[in-house]
Amino acid sequence: MKRYDGIKNIMKYITAEIVVANIGFPSRELYDINDRNRNFYMLGSMGLASSIGLGLALSQKEKVIILDGDGSILMNLGSLVTIANQNPDNLILIVIDNCVYGSTGNQPTYCRNTDLLKIAKSMGFKNSYDFNEIDFNDSLTKNQENSVFIHYRVSPGNVDVGIIDLSPKIIKNRFMKSI
Ligand SMILES: Cc1ncc(C[n+]2csc(CCOP(=O)(O)OP(=O)(O)O)c2C)c(N)n1
């Protein structure tokens, strides 16, 4: 199963939640699957989806779902420490791990020798899970006391979806108006 179907599996449970999507194909695939005003398609800033999601979670009460990638979270591991310590109870960080920098040509990341779930646990995430071992809808809907980290292993590969035909300004403005 590739990232596209992984995002589909996640989005079928999303109702009013805020979704922050990683740069590149994750955002493009999300746009193709379920474009909504409450999706923030992050452009350009590799590694910062988790940091942007944290800021959103700390500044308002609604649930924030972050769709990150293994390459991006490995590039900004400090963000995991900050999230685990700030620990907002309305944040769910999902790392869709395809073991590659998928958006730029499937160059391998260091995922093979690096267990992101163990890293999250050791950084202090009290609720850290493998997507395939939980009822995601349950994690999404029940009131958590802590931030949630979810590792979602998928196969490499992008689906040939179009680009996001919204300007960065429109993405930002419609997102801000919706929250
Ligand atoms: C600082 C920086 N380095 C590199 C890039 C180019 N870049 C954009 S997306 C991407 C790959 C992201 O990989 P990952 O987070 O694993 O997500 P995937 O595309 O595999 O889902 C890279 C290297 C960038 N935008 N910014």
Task: Give per-residue pLDDT as tens, 104-155.
Answer: 999 999 998 999 999 999 999 999 999 999 999 999 999 899 999 999 999 9
| Lateral strand order in the sheet of 39-41 | 39-41, 18-21, 64-69, 91-97, 148-153, 127-130
Q: Does domain 3-178 have CATH number 3.40.50.970?
A: yes
State which ligand 1 atom lies nearest to the alpha carbon of 68: 15
CA–centroid distance, residue 14 to ligand 1 (Å): 25
What residues does each domain of the chain span? Answer: 3-178
Nearest CA to ligand 1 atom 1: 46
CA–centroid distance, residue 75 to ligand 1 (Å): 9
Residue type, 71: G
Nearest partner of 69 among 33, 32, 118, 102, judged by Cα: 102
CA–centroid distance, residue 38 to ligand 1 (Å): 22
Residues with CB under 6 A from ligand 1: 3, 22-26, 44, 46, 69-72, 96, 98, 100-104, 109
pTM listed for this prediction? 0.98
DSSP E strand boundaries for the chain: 18-21, 39-41, 64-69, 91-97, 100-101, 107-108, 127-130, 148-153
Task: Give per-residue pLDDT as tens, 75-116.
Answer: 999 999 999 999 999 999 999 999 999 999 999 999 989 999
